[in-house]
Every structure is written in structure tokens, then in C-alpha cells.
Structure 1
Amino acid sequence: MPHFFAHLPRLCCYLPVLLGVGLATTGCSRRHFFQPDARVGPGSAQALPPTADSVLATAGRQYNKHSGVYYWFWGRHYRKVWAAPVTAPVLRLATAAPGGLKPGKPGGGFQSISMTLEGRQEREYALRALDKDPSKTLPKVLRPTFLLNAVRDATSAAMPYGALTVPPLAQAAGVPHTRPRLVYVRPDETGLGEMSERFRGKLALLEEKYEEVASATPDLAGVTNFVGGETVLKKVYFHPAYYFDQPAFLRARLLDMLIGDWDRHERQWDWATFPENNGLVRFQPIPKDRDQVYFRFDDGLVPWLASRRFIAPQFHTFREHYGYLPGLVYQAEFIDQRALAQLTRADFQRMATDLQRRLPDSLIERATHRLPHAVFALEGVRIGNYLKARRQALPQAADAYYLELAREPNLGGSAFAERFVVNRYPDSTTVRVFSSTRHVPTTSDSLRFRRTYFTAETHTLTLDGLGGDDIFEVNTIGGGRAIRLQLYGGEGNNQLLPQGSARRLKLYPREVSKLTAASRQQEPYLSRRRHTPVEHK
């Protein structure tokens, strides 16, 4: 869930107003904030019978117990959905999966309540409570204050059942996906180990993870392993033999945009590993944690202010139009720059058009009908209509997305030596990256990257060698105002070999003393600032 007050530095000039509103509408931190048990209706105050198969429950009715004044300040969000009674099957570990489930390791970050469950043949399942507890996002000194109430209350901006609608859309779009199921955890559950107490009496989503067994994932035939986002980044930037499946990542990211899933940073992905006959290794993306689809945040005074583009634009509200697109893709900036680096404007348009064709009205309606009946009655038609409108506008949104990424691209090398060959023209700049053939097991040449950037689209281009003894050959041809070029040598002895004008060209080595003689001769073009190697956010 959003860290509503994680952006206090940018909110400092608004704090007096926010403090006044907060104290007037939320008061001090409430000790008993969450509903004690998700069950509602007849018998909900009694012990759950051992034979009960299903219950009537709410995801979080505490969010819908406020006055109209409170909602005017803090927003109505999805409060009625959180309080809507839905029918959910009772989680039975012995029968929830073939061979039963047993507790694994706890999961989750500062907000989620989640854990891993283990099935037979080493299959793993994720269990995630619908409700969140973001108290750890605040410093301890602030937790007794109204700020904790506000941060907790912001959970109501999420659509708790939105993840249930994603599988049909992802399947049709050609994006790997999980298949979450809604379950209720008994108030006397003991089979979840140390996490039993935290899950008792809650609605949760149960889904099978992608396994390290190819037969368990027929949509990823040939996969040999599954790794997390941080592991993939380390591999890609350590060795040039590893690379992202960029068309597959673009397909997944356009689906993210369609459903308004703004929280897609690098830790929100798993990656399927595919070794190839030429010795290269391809990583195909698998989105996970669909907590933020159909997000609705800016319908109250305070969240409207917080989500302004100059404060926290990533808190992006889902509606029939895409709105401020840089805010929608803000969280994924780091991984987007690196996993979409080779794709052109035409590639973005072709993919958007293909997704339009794959997602007809009938499919969208089938997806929204996966919402529980009471929830569909509240939001199903609206969400479906918004999805249809966003599908129609997807090519325009994809073009804006491309232009946002093309404005200041950052291209990274690897820990091994590379040769960056750059040809700068008044209207464009072409970059080729060659790797040492001893590090790339191919029978062809060592070219591993090629792309032309256009002056009309790109303001600043950054090339980062990261490691090894890198060579930057920069040939500036003709006059005019070429794209600004920033070169980072990183570790190793790096050479800058320029030809032609050196205007709008800078090299930022890690240490100037490590430059070879060829680079030292170009000291008029060098900055003596130290450079820290690129790190993910």
C-alpha cells in the first residue's frame, strides 16, 4: 500500500494544514483499528463450526465507519467494497492443494501480511491477507499519533479483490500470471505456524507460485529456473551473456498500464530463466503482487494534494483515461529503463495494437465478473467501462510511455570490458555496444546492443560502463545541437576516444587517476566528480 507520509520532505510546506485536518478528523492512534474477525451476519459472533465450508465476510469494514466530513478530507476510495459482505471458502490446509499444504517462511514487507505455504513436489504457494498493516512505514515516534490512522486508512484506496480479475486479461494478453483464490482463515487456525495468529479471522488470497519445474508451468515451456528481480539485475549487469526478454517485458508493462497497476518496481517481478543454444540466457518477466490494480486515491482533499505531480505522482488513480502518465510509470522507472532499452517507437505501437485486438469487450466483461457478486454490483460495471476506454486509448498511452522513456535514457554495460561506439549527428545519435568475445559464447560478432536516439525525442543520453576496461569511441559529425551525452566509466581503466566536436559531452570516471593516457589527453572534456556505480532503487 502507498506510504502516504513517506514523502514528508516534499509535504513540509503543507504540514500545518495536514496536521490540523488530521487532528480534527482522525484523532490519536486507535489501538483497535482493524476488524477483529472478517465474518459478518448470523452466527459471526460465535465460534466457527469445524465443518464450516464457507463464510460471509468483509475485507475491512473499519474503513467505512466515518462521517461525510471525514470522507471529504480523506476520500471515499473503495470503502464500500471493503465493507461489502462476500462469500469465501474456509481455508483447509489438508485439501487446499493436492497433497495438502504446510507452513513455510513468513513473507511481506512493511505492510503486507503474507507467507509461503509448501505443497507436494516442492511446489510453493503464497498466502496474502487482503488487509494491510502499514504501521512499520512510520518512525516509532509517530506511531501513537493520528499519522498512523491516516496511513492505515489509505489502504482503502486499493481494490481488495482486483487481483481476481487479472488472470483472464493476462492470459489473453500473453503475459504469465498466477491464479489467486479468495479464502477465509479460521479464527482458531493453528496450521500456519508462527504466522497463524496474524492470519486468524482474515480474508486472504491463496495462489500457487511459479515453480522450478517446467511441467508445472506449461505457459513457460523450457524454463529451467525462476529468480527474483534483484538477482536478475545482478546477473544482467555482471555478465553480457544474460539479457532481458524486452518484447515480453513491454507486453507485461502495457498490461500494467491498462489495469492501472502503478506499483511495478523491480522487486515486483519474478523472472523465468531460458538458456539458449548459443550460450546466452534469456530472462522472461512474470508480474506478481497485483495489490494496486484499479487504485482510487485522489477523491479527497488530502490525498488529492498528496498525489499532485510535484509531490507523489505515483499514487495514480485508475479512471477511463490514463491521466498523468509519468506518474503511472514512476515506480518502475529503473527497471523500465533497463528492460526496454532496445525497443523502438514502432515496437511500442505494434504491441499496443496487438493488445487491443486480444482484449475484446466480452473478455473484459468475463474478467470483471470474477469479482464477488456484492463487489461487482458496486464497481464491476464502472471498472469494465474504464478498461474498455483505456484499451481504446492504449496506442496513444504507449506512445506517451515511449517518449517518457526516450527523454533521458540510461544504458548500462556490464562488469566486463565493453566498447561503446557512438556516432552523433545533429538529428540523431546511434549507439553500438560491443563486448569482448571471450565473455560472450557466440559464433557471431560481439555486438550486443544497437539503437538510434533522435534529437526530437531525447534530451540527455547516459552510458554507464559499470566495470572492466571500457572504451568510449565518440564521433561527432556535422554542426548543430547534438544530444547531450554523459559517459560513466565505472571501475577499470577507461578510454575516451572522441572525434569532432566535444560539445555537450562529458565523461565522469570513478577516479580520474585511473584513466589511461588516451583519456587523459581529453581532460578538457572530463569532470573530476567521482561516480558511484549504478545501483537499483
Structure 2
Amino acid sequence: MATGCVRRNYFQSDARVGAGSDGALAPATDSVLGVAGRQYNDRSKFHHLFWGKHYRGVWAAPVTAPVLHLATVVPGGLKAGKPGGGYQSISMTLEGPQEREYALRALDKEPSKTLPKALRHTIVLNVVRDATSAAMPYGAFTVPPLARAAGVPHTRPRLVYVRPDETGLGSMSERFQGKLALLEEKFVALSSRTPDLSGASGFVSSEEMLAAVYASPAHRIDQPSFLRARLLDAWLGDWDRHEGQWDWAEFKQPDGRVRYQAIPKDRDQVYFRFDDGLVPWLASRPFIAPQFHTFKREFGYVPGLLNQAHFIDQRGLARLTRADFRRVAADLQRRLSDTTIERAIRRLPPAVYALEGRGIVARLKARRQTLPQFAEAYYLELARKPVLGGTALPERFVVQRYPDSTTVQIFSAARAKITGGDSLHFQHTYYSAETKNLTLESLGGADVFEISGDGRNLIPLLIYGGEGTDRLQLAGSKRGLKLFDVASDLQAAGAPRPSLPPKKRLAYDRTEEE
């Protein structure tokens, strides 16, 4: 593909409708009439056939947006903070009083960094930019009342217009000038607490939360509340929910334990519409890029909708049963009433509601009706290949294998010492009809794996040893048992130490009884 084909001046220079050639805006202007991205709507029916109609009309619909005045937008005003680090979003942090922080994100995207440098000056960049029109630019503004009804913590985004001569955003000023943007407070300072998070002792990122959970069994994710948030994600069609899309409220318990409650953020992909053109339809097939999941009346291909959140789902929902998934889904059905849905979607700008509002309402109601069936499929998807991890402290993994099921218990002496309670840290039963294989991960400490059970049709068991001298105590069949260890020290009691180099599979990989 030849270079030099990228379209110059791809993006609109100013979001305002009828902006003059000089781009001037009176200092006292409080609001403007603007569009999120008129460039996406200048396409032929032939283009729609191959690349999709998406939300092109919405991107070009006129909306009224308040002008961002940094000195008065919140009490005490805002000042420029650090630029955002996303590959597509034009974003930055704004700093407010009492150590509060706010996120400012342009509604439009610039996805050039998602491509290899060799393709950034080719027509491929035009294609990738055009795909931005698959997102509903105002979808995030409908989420707060739905999240509130569902019992899920949420941010409170608002629409703003950044002046074409704004210079108060530091190094990011030029990138934001003339754009419509979303402004929302981050959950960073304790002053950011809301009634649904009363009692929180602080807020942390997913990276910080996972580091704490992996370090000590006294730290754990509030899994029922995380399931509630994840079912809300799926109902909204919000497929882009990797671990970077969450903040976590930290609750310190009197007995020394710490509980982390999930706070969803960055609702850029709710109501996503992608597969209405030939090329994106092909691209979103299960064998290519199933994560580009279109919001329809039915949930569609479940693994695709869950794809981006697979890592955090495995670690945040491992304790929950099939009954838990059913119960939470049924509760959400009751909470998300017709009135709640209709009022939430009315938060779209009038011109946008006229184009898409009724259709979104109808699809949300249809998805609500089948939410329990989706929850069942969600549970089964996670149950196929569960991954259970220990911590950096010593643990004892007790695994009882039966022909129809496997029960895993994880005991931690450190947990008992910290909390003064039981050393049982985790317990769950997996069924052969649901689980294809089960993985246990030792992260650190001198861990012990006690494996027992005989018979055929046992669930295959993969054990990964971590740092420290780990021991395997095997009583029963080795059928379907595979051992891996980075330090080559995981061994069966009484067996010679394997001589394989680090990071190689160890000796026990048997498929027949001995």
C-alpha cells in the first residue's frame, strides 16, 4: 500500500456550528451549538455498505454544550495536570481543590498510535479513524441513573466545549482547542466519596489493587459487587472493560482485612455499533476480532463481549457460584425498570435522542429480559478454564479430585494470623461438565500442593510453581496433571528433583494410570 494516502486535515477544526473563519469566541460566552465530529457523516451510501453507517448521524447532530471556564467550572476552579497516556483518547487530568482530580477527554479520538509507524501515513489510518464513528459519543451521559439503580458506583460526566483560544490546559491546550469533551471527577481524594462509597479509606488503581491482593490474603476483591458491575457492563454492551477501566474503593476492616469495591470508568463504548458494514462485519467475526461487539437486542457472542475483561474477570469473580450469577442477574432485572431506562436515555441531547433514543431504549429492555440467560452463559464461560492464584506468602492448596468434580481449598497461615480467624482463604467446587481444565498458580513463598483422587474423566490440572521451594504431595492418580515451575523446584514428595532448565514443563505429564 502506497504511503502518502492519509487524508490531510481529517478532523474538524472547530466543533461549533457556523464557526467563523477566524474562530473567535466572545469571552463571556457560556454555551455553544456544536457537533462531536462532522467528518464522519460526509460519506456515500457505497461507503456505508462497505464500512458501516455506525453512529455517523449522531456525530454530526447539533448539541448545546457549556463552554469550559477553568476558573468557575467547579468551586475553587481547575488547573492543568498531567496529559493522559491512552493510545486513542485525547485526555488529561485537571487538578481541583482538596486534592480532587478531574478527567477531561475529547469525545473524538485519534487512533494513529494504535498502528505501526509504517502504516501511520497510509490509507489504513483513514480506515481506523473512520471506525471511531461506531462509538456513541454521548452514551456515557446516560449511564449514571442506570448504574445508580443497579447499585453500582459511577462517575458523573458532563459535556463541555473547549474554547478555540484556550491556553489554560498547558501542553494539551492545542489538542483540545475547539473540541467537545467529557469532564468528570476521578475517585482519588477522600473528598470524592459519594454516599454509595461511604466508609472508603481511599481509592486505588487496578494495578495497585492487584499488587495488594497478590501480596497478602488479607486483601481481597468484593466479588459480588464486581459481578453486579460486570453484568451492568454487558447489559450496556460496554465491551472494553480491561483492568485499566476500573478504579477501586478501599475499605479497611477492623479485623485487618481490606476489601476492594470496583468503580467503573471510561464509558466510551456503551451502545457500540460496528457490524453494519461488510468489512467491519467480517472483522468482528469470532475468529478475527470478536471484542468489537455490537449492541443489539440480543447479547450475541458471549466470549466476544467478555474478551477484553478476561484477565480481571478470572481474578475478580473466581469465588462466585452459578447461583450467585443467577441471583444478581434477577436482582438487576427488578432494579432496571422501564421508567429508569426511559429517563436515563432522555439524558441524550435532544437531536441525538431523536435519531437513536427509542432504538436504544428498546434494545435495553430486550436485553434486560434475557439477562439471566446471559449470566448463565457468562458463568459457564468463566468456568471453562479457571485460574486460581495464591499470594506472595506461603499457602497450602488442597485439591480433591473426583470423576465428576474437583474441589479446591487454599489455606493461609498468614491470613489466620492477620485476622485471628480461620486459615481457609478460598474454596470452590468445579464440575467436569463445565470445566475443561483448572490452573493453580503459586506466586511466592514455600507453597504446598496436596492433590488427591482417583478415577477416569478427572478435570485436567495445571500447576505453576512460583518463587520459593514448592512441594507437591500427590495421593492418587497423576492423570491429567501437568506441572510447571520457573525455578524447577516443584516436585512430588520423595521423587528426584527434575533436571529440566527453568521455565520448562516438569516431569509429571501423565495420561495413563501408573
TM-score, normalised to structure 2, is 0.95
The one-letter code of the counterpart of 2:65 is A
The one-letter code of the counterpart of 1:432 is Q
In the alignment, which residue of structure 2 is the partner of 1:270? Answer: 247
Q: CA deviation at 1:230?
A: 1.2
In the alignment, which residue of structure 1 is the partner of 2:461? Answer: 485
Deviations 1:61-108 (A, max 9, x none): 000112111111111111110011111111111110011111111114
Contact 2:341/2:364 (<8 A) preserved: yes
Distance 2:193 2:498 in 1: 57
Distance 1:214 1:439 in 2: 34
> Are 1:324 and 2:298 matched, yes or no?
no
Deviations 1:386-429 (A, max 9, x none): 00000111000000000000000000001111100000011110
In the alignment, which residue of structure 2 is the partner of 1:226? Answer: 203
Q: CA deviation at 1:121?
A: 1.1
Distance 1:130 1:120 in 2: 25
Q: CA deviation at 1:321?
A: 0.3
5+ residue gaps, structure 1, are: 1-18, 533-537
SS of alignment partner, residue 381 of structure 2: helix
Deviations 1:29-57 (A, max 9, x none): 01210000000137586511111111110
> Are 1:466 and 2:440 matched, yes or no?
no
In the alignment, which residue of structure 1 is the partner of 2:96? Answer: 119
> Are 1:91 and 2:65 matched, yes or no?
no
SS of alignment partner, residue 418 of structure 2: coil
Q: CA deviation at 1:437?
A: 3.2
Q: Provide the alpha-carbon RMSD of the alignment.
A: 2.0
The one-letter code of the counterpart of 2:98 is Q
Deviations 1:323-355 (A, max 9, x none): 001100000000000000000000000000000
Q: 1:355 aligns with which of 309, 332, 336?
A: 332
Distance 1:67 1:219 in 2: 48
In the alignment, which residue of structure 1 is the partner of 2:25? Answer: 48
Change (3 A) 1:148 1:496: same
Distance 1:213 1:528 in 2: 45
Q: 1:520 aligns with which of 495, 500, 503?
A: 495
Change (3 A) 1:69 1:27: farther
Distance 2:314 2:492 in 1: 33
Deviations 1:162-204 (A, max 9, x none): 0000000000101000110001000011111111111000000
Q: 1:454 aligns with which of 413, 416, 431?
A: 431
Q: CA deviation at 1:530?
A: 2.8
In the alignment, which residue of structure 1 is the partner of 2:504? Answer: 530
Q: 1:146 aligns with which of 116, 123, 141?
A: 123
Deviations 1:350-403 (A, max 9, x none): 000000000000000000000000000000000010000001110000000000
Distance 1:145 1:487 in 2: 46
The one-letter code of the counterpart of 1:158 is A
Change (3 A) 1:424 1:69: same
Q: CA deviation at 1:156?
A: 0.5
Matched ranges for 1:65-80 at <5 A: 65-80=42-57
Distance 1:115 1:42 in 2: 25
Contact 2:386/2:437 (<8 A) preserved: yes
Distance 1:307 1:280 in 2: 43
Deviations 1:187-229 (A, max 9, x none): 0111111111110000001111113215732221111111111
Matched ranges for 1:428-439 at <5 A: 428-437=405-414
In the alignment, which residue of structure 2 is the partner of 1:411? Answer: 388
Q: CA deviation at 1:445?
A: 2.0
Q: 2:483 aligns with which of 507, 511, 515?
A: 507
Change (3 A) 1:516 1:457: closer
Distance 1:412 1:265 in 2: 19
Distance 2:280 2:28 in 1: 44
Contact 2:204/2:249 (<8 A) preserved: yes
In the alignment, which residue of structure 2 is the partner of 1:401? Answer: 378
Distance 1:509 1:519 in 2: 18
Contact 1:490/1:531 (<8 A) preserved: no
Q: CA deviation at 1:527?
A: 11
Q: Percent identity?
A: 67
Q: May I ask how many residue pairs the two structures share in their alignment?
A: 506
Change (3 A) 1:289 1:531: farther
The one-letter code of the counterpart of 2:459 is I
Contact 1:508/1:528 (<8 A) preserved: no
SS of alignment partner, residue 104 of structure 1: strand
Matched ranges for 1:186-265 at <5 A: 186-213=163-190, 216-265=193-242
TM-score, normalised to structure 1, is 0.91
Matched ranges for 1:247-396 at <5 A: 247-396=224-373
Distance 1:393 1:27 in 2: 49
5+ residue gaps, structure 2, are: 507-514
Contact 2:225/2:262 (<8 A) preserved: yes
Contact 1:437/1:445 (<8 A) preserved: no
The one-letter code of the counterpart of 1:311 is I
SS of alignment partner, residue 113 of structure 1: strand
Contact 1:240/1:440 (<8 A) preserved: no
In the alignment, which residue of structure 1 is the partner of 2:512? Answer: none
Distance 2:486 2:235 in 1: 41
Contact 2:98/2:189 (<8 A) preserved: no
The one-letter code of the counterpart of 1:497 is Q
Distance 1:223 1:214 in 2: 10
Contact 1:214/1:221 (<8 A) preserved: no
Q: CA deviation at 1:531?
A: 7.1
SS of alignment partner, residue 466 of structure 1: coil
Contact 1:341/1:411 (<8 A) preserved: yes
The one-letter code of the counterpart of 2:145 is P
In the alignment, which residue of structure 1 is the partner of 2:511? Answer: none
Contact 2:450/2:474 (<8 A) preserved: yes
